[in-house]
A and B are shown apart, each in its own frame.
Chain A
Amino acid sequence: MSHCQICMTDMMPQIGWRALFLKEDPFSICRECASKFEEIKGETCRSCDRSLENVAPQFKVDDQCADCIRWETDAEWAGVLDRNYSLLTYNTFAKEVLARYKFRGDYAIAFAFVPFIKQRLQSIPFDALVPIPLSEERLYERGFNQSEALIIASGYKPTNLLTRIHSEKQSKKSRAERIHLPQVFQTEASLSNEKVLLIDDIYTTGSTLRHAAKLLKSAGAQSVCSLTLARG
């Protein structure tokens, strides 16, 4: 008997020919919890993967959202992040589960996301999975880096190319403040044409990921994309 990693209820394993032959992942979350997540599907922004289905027409042009148009028409930021992929809508349930994961430090929740991550990684080309780092202070406070944990739980090796310079909390800042911040990361890596895939828990304004992407491009990355669990 296994237990749902989120709500801890007992789960009867689903044994069938498919499970036996295809060696599928053992269920790590129950059906009820799985049904509360909303996978991002249908038409999404080609740059940030935001669902465009409920976006009013004045906030999009073709398959790009207004936020990304702003980024991509800014000379400093255009083309820095090749594109973002996100798995889940940041709904109330995702918010709750992510808060327990990173703020309460419930590491085991990482395994709840593994099936989503593994599946998506099959269709994204990459040479290195790079987690967005925490400051030393924040890392000590939380005990682990939530982005790195996602990579490890999914059975991949993280490539730690970045370190953080500043330590203030991102979520306390406005979009303008985040964008005009001087570089928050540093790297000692020199890359030779690698395809980098940044991993983070959530894409909100996209500024964190773009700062990281900019640095990695100037360090020699061929392309920098990102994969986040949720799209805020």
Chain B
Amino acid sequence: MRFACIDSKLIPEKLLTSPEQTSPISTFEQVPAQPLNPDYPYNKDLQQQLSGKQLLIEDLIFPLSELQAHYENGYLLYRKGIISTKNKPTCTRCGNHDPHYFAAFPCARCKEECTYCRKCLMMGRVSACTPLLSWTGPLIAHETNPPQLSWDGTLSTGQQLASERVVQAIKENKELLCWAVCGAGKTEVLFQGIDAALTAGKRVCLATPRTDVVLELTPRLKKVFPSIPVASLYGGSEDRHLNAPLTIATTHQLLRFYQAFDAVILDEVDAFPYSVDESLQYAVRQSRKPTSSMIYLTATPNEKWQADCRQGKRDYVTIPARFHRHPLPVPVFHWCGNWEKGLKKERLPANVLQWIKKRLLDGKQCLLFVPKIERMNDILPLVRKLHPKIEAVHAEDPNRKEKVQAMRKKDIPILLTTTILERGVTFPNIDVAVLGAEDRIFTESALVQIAGRVGRSAQAPSGEIIFFHYGKTNAMIRARKQITRMNEEARMKGLIDH
């Protein structure tokens, strides 16, 4: 669209009453903000929908004239959708500045060649003539009636310590990494912190890269915070316009937020796609208020973060033991030769075969991780000769959910899988093996997560984790070291009984 600039005020072309010189928003040096008129009877619904957000005009149902009136009275701001410096565009919404992710088109809205961002296109096109709208009027005061938290569980010693640190970081608007081993019970660690934030009238967001985690966390948090509205945001969810004191969202959804939260808690910092997608990291930064706290949760921080922690560059707290006070199962390495070559002759390494047969005989369920889908497809017919109900699953498998469900119901004795099941899933009593642990897809984090699938429940706190390999890698060694270190730390702190 095009704007005229009259008396330091932008006016959309469509609302002009007389012909004026107009141009796209991207061409203005700066978009002039208007002073707040405290007497203006602003629209409460618009405040609901827009405060803390950055939205396109078409994301809102309000007429342009009403939006413009809010702008003129200082309640709304137009920001440039695309900012170009030295001919290099950057998307204001998603932070994309990779030239491959921009294209241009003859735009019917501004009647000019218009550059647009292809990175966040699926959330509505942001182009050079697109204004991004945000709210500059008064924020919504969320009524708070303490006590909020309705939870009568108890925290383990490790959890309690971490919980106190989280509360402190949230109160002091600081950053904290909570490094909790798989199965430590990290969600419970957040309850006190969220409660403290809500009691102080703060707006909290719990973000995670994965939709299934949002779906899993929403009912749990609604249950422990029954007196407040909780917004649950993921692609296609209905809470899009719900302005709640507690928001649970995929990191993707944060692209629509702007300076909204006093506290952001980011679960699984190291998980795909957040770990590799700069625009999601940008989205999280944008969603925070300039003064706010940030809690990172993970079982497997990357090497850089681990080093930062050791060197004191990053504030962190560990939960080195599981809630059931048993040590983490430590991976055992078994050399299995050139297993890929063997597969071409339809042969599995003898020790792998032995391992599988033993589980089938004992009736113990297990997961077998394989680096590539193609290899998994080679293995499946071979192991099915041992048991016809063995299944395989990967990311694009349409029956993924059903197979995981069948595994839970113990209808499947052995499930072959790619790294897709490395995190998030819990089967109570299983053994786990990795075939081809030397593959570079098995990073240190991936291997620690995989090992973390074993011994999750208090009833069956142990189990075997084997890395079958054709040559040890640094990732394997570092993964084992990380696990043994955590066990040592837990023992020293008296968090393990067994």
Contacts and interface: CB of A to CB of B under 8 A. Distances in A.
Interface string B86-126: 00000000000000110111111100001010100110110
Interface residues of B, number: 18
Contact of B100 (A3, A139, A142, A149): A3
Interface stretch (A46-54, A67-75, A100-108, A200-208): A100-108
A143 B116 CA distance: 11
Given A3-B100, A8-B100, A107-B116, A144 B105 contact: yes
Nearest to B124: A104
Interface of A: 3, 8, 100, 104-108, 139-145, 149, 152
B118 A140 contact: no
B103 A143 contact: no
Given A107-B105, A144-B108, 15 more contacts: A3-B100, A8-B101, A8-B118, A104-B124, A106-B118, A106-B125, A107-B116, A108-B105, A140-B108, A143-B108, A143-B109, A143-B125, A143-B127, A144-B106, A145-B108
A3 to B, nearest CB: 5
Listed from nearest, the 4 A-B pairs whose CB atoms lie closest are A107-B105, A108-B103, A105-B125, A139-B108
B100 A107 contact: no
A44 B439 CA distance: 48
Nearest to A152: B106
Contact of B121 (A100, A139, A149): A100
A144 B121 contact: no
Nearest to A153: B105
A104 B100 contact: no
Interface in B227-286: none
A108 B100 CA distance: 11
A61 B127 CA distance: 50
Contact of A143 (B107, B118, B122): B107
B100 A143 contact: no
Contacts of A106: 103, 118, 121, 125
26 contacts: A8-B100, A8-B101, A104-B122, A104-B124, A104-B125, A105-B116, A106-B103, A106-B118, A106-B121, A107-B105, A107-B116, A108-B103, A108-B105, A139-B108, A140-B108, A140-B109, A141-B58, A142-B108, A143-B114, A143-B125, A143-B127, A144-B105, A144-B107, A145-B108, A149-B105, A152-B106
B108 to A, nearest CB: 5
Contacts of B101: 8
A143 B105 contact: yes
Contacts of B107: 143-144
Contacts, number: 43
Nearest to B100: A3
Nearest to A106: B121
A41 to B, nearest CB: 27
Contacts of B125: 104-106, 143
Contacts of B118: 8, 106, 108
B22 to A, nearest CB: 15
Contacts of A142: 108
A141 B108 CA distance: 9
B59 to A, nearest CB: 13
Contacts of B100: 3, 8
A70 to B, nearest CB: 36
Nearest to A3: B100
Nearest to B129: A143
Contacts of A149: 105
A55 to B, nearest CB: 27
B109 to A, nearest CB: 6
Nearest to A138: B108
A218 to B, nearest CB: 29
Contacts of A145: 108
Contacts of B104: 107
Interface in B120-160: 121-122, 124-125, 127
A156 to B, nearest CB: 15
Among A3, A107, A144, find the residue whose CB has the most chain B CB atoms closer than 10 A: A107
A107 B108 contact: no
A148 to B, nearest CB: 9
A164 B116 CA distance: 27
Nearest to B58: A141
A145 B108 CA distance: 9
A104 B121 contact: yes
Contacts of B121: 100, 104-106
A140 B13 CA distance: 13
Nearest to A141: B58
Interface string B174-199: 00000000000000000000000000
A13 B116 CA distance: 25
A8 B122 CA distance: 14
Contacts of A140: 108-109
A142 B116 CA distance: 13
A139 B109 CA distance: 8
Nearest to B123: A104
A164 to B, nearest CB: 14
A107 B103 contact: yes
B415 to A, nearest CB: 27
A220 B118 CA distance: 42
Contacts of A144: 105-108
A144 B125 CA distance: 12
B479 to A, nearest CB: 29
A87 B183 CA distance: 54
Interface string B455-489: 00000000000000000000000000000000000
A162 B94 CA distance: 38
A108 B114 CA distance: 12
A8 B279 CA distance: 15
Contacts of B103: 106-108
Contacts of A105: 116, 121, 125
A3 B100 CA distance: 7
A44 to B, nearest CB: 31
B98 to A, nearest CB: 9
B97 to A, nearest CB: 15
Contacts of A108: 103, 105, 118
Nearest to B119: A8
A145 B105 CA distance: 11
Among B100, B103, B105, find the residue whose CB has the most chain A CB atoms closer than 10 A: B105
Nearest to A104: B121
Contacts of B124: 104
Contacts of A100: 121-122
A220 B124 CA distance: 42
